[in-house]
Amino acid sequence: MQRRSAHRPRGPLASQRRGTLRLALVIGVLVLINLYVFLWRDSTSVPELMEQAAVGGDASTLVPRAGDELAAVEPEDGAEDVAPAEPGRRVDGEVLSGDSMGRILRREGLTPPEADKLIRAISPVMDLRRIQVGQSYRLHFADDGSLLEFEFDVSRIIRIRASRDGTGAITAEKLEAETEVRVMELSGEIRTSLYHTIKDLGESPSLVAFFVDVFAYDLNFYVDTHKGDTFRMLVEKEYLGDEFLRYRRVVGAEYSGRAGTFHAFWWKRPDRDEGTYYNADGRSTEKTLLKSPLKYARVSSRYNPRRMHPVLHRVKGHWGTDYAAATGTPIWAAASGKIIYRGRRGGAGNAVILRHPNGMVTQYFHMSKFAKGQKVGQYVKQKQVIGYVGATGLATGPHLHFGVKVNGRHVDPQKIKMKPGPPVPRKYMAKFREETAEIVERLRNIPVKRLAAIPAEQPQSVLPN
- 55 part of a folded domain: no
Say yes or no: 206 and 265 in one domain: yes
Predicted confidence (pLDDT) at residue 461 exceeds the cutoff of 70 = no
- 187 part of a folded domain: yes
The pLDDT of 11-37, averaged and rounded, is: 66
- 42 part of a folded domain: no
Predicted confidence (pLDDT) at residue 21 exceeds the cutoff of 80 = no
Q: Which amino acid is at 174?
A: K
Confidence of residue 22 (pLDDT cuts 50, 70, 90): confident
- The per-residue pLDDT for range 320-373, each reduced to its tens digit, is 888 888 899 999 999 889 999 999 998 899 999 999 987 899 999 999 999 999
Taking every pair of Cα atoms in the chain, the longest distance, rounded to a whole number of angstroms, is 178
The residue among 315, 350, 356 whose CA lies nearest residue 333 is 356
450, 197 Cβ separation under 8 angstroms: no
| Domain end marker among 143, 176, 209 | 176
Predicted confidence (pLDDT) at residue 464 exceeds the cutoff of 50 = no
The pLDDT of 21-42, averaged and rounded, is: 67
Say yes or no: 371 and 356 in one domain: yes
The per-residue pLDDT for 16 is 60
Say yes or no: 305 and 410 in one domain: yes
Q: What gap in Å lies between CA 148 and CA 118, rounded to an integer?
A: 11
- 202 part of a folded domain: yes
Say yes or no: 313 and 170 in one domain: no
Cβ neighbours, 10 Å, residue 459: 6
- 165 part of a folded domain: yes
Say yes or no: 250 and 202 in one domain: yes
- The per-residue pLDDT for range 35-81, each reduced to its tens digit, is 665 555 555 555 554 545 444 444 333 334 444 444 444 545 554 55
**Number of domain units in the chain:** 3
Q: 64 or 283: whose pLDDT is higher?
A: 283
The per-residue pLDDT for 165 is 86
Say yes or no: 245 and 334 in one domain: no
The pLDDT of 196-203, averaged and rounded, is: 90
Q: 216 or 215: whose pLDDT is higher?
A: 215
Which of 234-243, 315-324, 409-418 shows the lowest mean pLDDT across its residues? Answer: 315-324
The residue among 461, 447, 455, 445 whose CA lies nearest residue 190 is 461
442: domain CATH number?
3.10.450.350
- The per-residue pLDDT for range 112-136, each reduced to its tens digit, is 999 999 999 999 999 998 899 999 9
Q: What gap in Å lies between CA 98 and CA 133, rounded to an integer?
A: 8
Predicted confidence (pLDDT) at residue 161 exceeds the cutoff of 60 = yes
Q: What gap in Å lies between CA 321 and CA 336, rounded to an integer?
A: 20
**% residues pLDDT > 70 (the chain):** 76
Q: What gap in Å lies between CA 440 and CA 389, rounded to an integer?
A: 39
Q: What gap in Å lies between CA 62 and CA 55, rounded to an integer?
A: 8
Say yes or no: 281 and 426 in one domain: yes
Dihedral of CA 361/364/370/372: which sign? negative
- 31 part of a folded domain: no
Q: What gap in Å lies between CA 230 and CA 188, rounded to an integer?
A: 6
Q: What is the pTM of this model?
A: 0.56
User: For 127, what's the count of Cα atoms within 13 Å in the CB-facing half-sphere?
Assistant: 5
335, 383 Cβ separation under 8 angstroms: no
Say yes or no: 404 and 304 in one domain: yes
Q: What gap in Å lies between CA 31 and CA 37, rounded to an integer?
A: 10
Query: Alpha carbon of 464 to those of 20, 136, 191, 198, 215: distances in Å?
Result: 117, 35, 12, 11, 18
Predicted confidence (pLDDT) at residue 310 exceeds the cutoff of 90 = no
Say yes or no: 232 and 193 in one domain: yes
| Rg over CA atoms, the chain | 43
Q: What gap in Å lies between CA 134 and CA 34, rounded to an integer?
A: 71
Q: Which helix (H) or strand (E) holds 430?
A: helix 429-444
Query: Alpha carbon of 314 to those of 300, 307, 311, 348: distances in Å?
Result: 18, 8, 8, 17
310: domain CATH number?
2.70.70.10
The residue among 204, 219, 189, 351 whose CA lies nearest residue 285 is 219
The per-residue pLDDT for 70 is 40
Spell out the long-range contacts of 416-421 with Cβ–Cβ below 8 A and sequence spacing 24 or more: 416/289, 418/217, 418/287, 418/288, 418/289, 418/291, 419/287, 419/288, 420/217, 420/283, 420/284, 420/285, 420/286, 420/287, 420/288, 421/276, 421/284, 421/285, 421/286, 421/287, 421/288
DSSP states of 241-304 = TTEEEEEEEEEEEEEEETTEEEEEEEE--TT-SS-EEE-TTS-BS-BSS-S-SB--SEEEE--B
State the first-to-last Cα distance of the chain, in angstroms, to the nearest integer: 154
The per-residue pLDDT for 45 is 55
- 136 part of a folded domain: yes
| Domain end marker among 127, 143, 176 | 176
401, 365 Cβ separation under 8 angstroms: yes
| Domain region containing 389 | 298-415
314, 306 Cβ separation under 8 angstroms: no
Which of 171-185, 207-221, 247-261, 399-413 shows the lowest mean pLDDT across its residues? Answer: 207-221
The pLDDT of 442-452, averaged and rounded, is: 86
Say yes or no: 362 and 390 in one domain: yes
Which of 193-202, 297-306, 454-463 shows the lowest mean pLDDT across its residues? Answer: 454-463
- 50 part of a folded domain: no
Say yes or no: 278 and 427 in one domain: yes
Q: What gap in Å lies between CA 69 and CA 64, rounded to an integer?
A: 7
The residue among 118, 134, 231 whose CA lies nearest residue 185 is 231
Say yes or no: 375 and 426 in one domain: no
The pLDDT of 215-221, averaged and rounded, is: 75
Q: In a 3-state reduction of DSSP, which class is residue 451? A: coil
Burial of 364 per CB tally in 10 Å (0-12, 13-18, 19+): buried
Which of the residue ranges 164-173, 305-314, 409-418 has the most confident prediction, judged by mean pLDDT?
164-173
Burial of 161 per CB tally in 10 Å (0-12, 13-18, 19+): middle
| Domain end marker among 176, 194, 220 | 176
Q: 402 or 6: whose pLDDT is higher?
A: 402
Q: 43 or 229: whose pLDDT is higher?
A: 229
The per-residue pLDDT for 77 is 53
- The per-residue pLDDT for range 93-111, each reduced to its tens digit, is 999 999 999 999 999 999 9
Q: What gap in Å lies between CA 212 and CA 221, rounded to an integer?
A: 7
